[in-house]
């Protein structure tokens, strides 16, 4: 069974914090709330870099 944020509630806050740290590190202006003004490439680069670091 895989562990996800539903089975490990503490993971959600940690992953959110990690997401914003990565976005800041690679220069993506990610903010809490609506980010529909960002391109798919920008959003994808954050997720891709997170996976690479994990």
Query: In the chain, how many domains are there?
Result: 1
| Res 2: pLDDT | 56
Q: CA 4 → CA 11, 27, 50, distances in Å?
A: 8, 27, 16
| Res 51: pLDDT | 92
| Res 23: pLDDT | 96
Q: In this predicted model, what pLDDT tens digit does every residue of 8-42 receive, in sequence order?
A: 778 888 999 999 999 999 999 999 999 999 999 99
Q: Are 53 and 45 in contact (CB under 8 A)?
A: no
Flag whether 5 is in a domain.
no
| Res 3: pLDDT | 57
Flag whether 2 is in a domain.
no
pTM higher than 0.85, yes or no? no
| Res 4: pLDDT | 58
Print the domain residue range for 21.
10-53
Flag whether 33 is in a domain.
yes
Flag whether 35 is in a domain.
yes
Flag whether 27 is in a domain.
yes
Flag whether 3 is in a domain.
no
């Amino acid at each position: 069974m895989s562990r996800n944020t539903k089975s490990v509630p503490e993971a959600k806050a940690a992953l959110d914090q990690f997401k914003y740290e990565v976005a800041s590190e690679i220069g993506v202006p990610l903010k809490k709330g609506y980010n529909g003004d960002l391109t798919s490439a920008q959003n994808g680069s954050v997720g891709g870099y997170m996976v690479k670091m994990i």
